[in-house]
Amino acid sequence: MVQVWSLKCKCDICRTTNYTCETDGYCFTSAFIKSGVLQYNYSCLSRAHFFPPEDPLWCHQNATVESTRFCCHNNDYCNAESKLMPLTLSVDKQLKYESS
C-alpha cells in the first residue's frame, strides 16, 4: 500500500488558493535584503526537484549577508511564523520590513 500525504504551507504568491500551497516535500521561508528593505518569501518545495529528496541541500545553505532560508515539514503551515534575518542585520541598521 502506498501512502500519499501533502503538507500545507504558507505561500505568498498563491493568491488563487488563499495563499496556501501543498507539497509532498517541505515548506520554506526565505529572507533577503533588496534596496535596504528586508523582504520575505513563503512557499512549497517539492521532493521531486531537490537532491537528495529526503533532505535537500538547498535547505541547508548557510545564511549570507543578504539572504537566508528555512525549510520545515513537521506540520502544516510550519513556515508561517518564521522570521529569519540575514547576517547584515544588526542593532545599528535601520531597515524597513516588508512581507511579500
Q: What is the mean pLDDT of residues 55-71?
A: 86
If pLDDT is split at 50, 70 and 90, which confidence band does 80 have? Answer: very high
More confident residue, 27 or 33: 27
- Residue 91 pLDDT greater than 50, yes or no: no
Identify the residue whose cell numbers are 518545495. Answer: 45
- pTM for the model stands at 0.76
